[in-house]
Amino acid sequence: MSKLIPLLLATAALTLSACQQAAGTGEARIAPAPLVEAIDPQRDPIKATQARKQLMERPEQVADVAALRREVLALIADKSADNVQQCLVLPLGHKPCGGPAEYVAVSIKGKDEATVLNKINAYNQAAEAENLRLGRMSDCAVVPKPQVQLVNGQCTLVNEATY
């Protein structure tokens, strides 16, 4: 656990740059730009509305977020582990009010932990930027971080009812 905290801090510092390498393709992935009102809506509401509409009509950015999610889910699909120390609980996605959309159980057995953390961080940042760009709203409920357990050699989240 003591090794995990510095690794998470280093990973967070690395992912502050919005560009991530796509798995094995060599192409750079850039998180969608957040919505920024370049035109003052008080002075020119028509141009501000047109600029906002143009920013929201970028299907290539939405596709990037969906592609990142598919890549993350493929990367963490194998949840097999030899012991619970190979299991992590990581946040996935971003709620518009803040915080993770959900938590997932991840096995790092046979995987590069830094690669997994970088890919999940890239997706989380892209999801947050997309939420801002599209002006999404959510229920603002706090998603509690669950515990992880090893069940039949698989990393599994502990159901709140089983605590």
**Lowest-confidence range among 30-44, 89-103, 142-156?**
30-44
Q: What are the E-state strand segments in the chain?
A: 19-21, 28-30, 87-92, 102-107, 148-151, 154-157
pLDDT digits (tens, 9 = 90+) for 70-82: 999 999 999 999 9
Q: Distance (Å, rounded) from C-alpha 102 to C-alpha 17? A: 23
User: With b meaning 16 or more CB within 10 Å and e meaning fewer, what string describes 33-50?
Assistant: eebeeeeeeeeeeeebee
What is the DSSP secondary-structure string of 50-62? HHHHHHH--HHHH
Q: What is the pLDDT of residue 39?
A: 66
Sequence spans of domains, the chain: 4-17+45-162
pLDDT digits (tens, 9 = 90+) for 87-130: 999 999 999 988 999 999 999 999 999 999 999 999 999 999 88
Q: What is the pLDDT of residue 136?
A: 85
pLDDT at 132 > cutoff 50:
yes
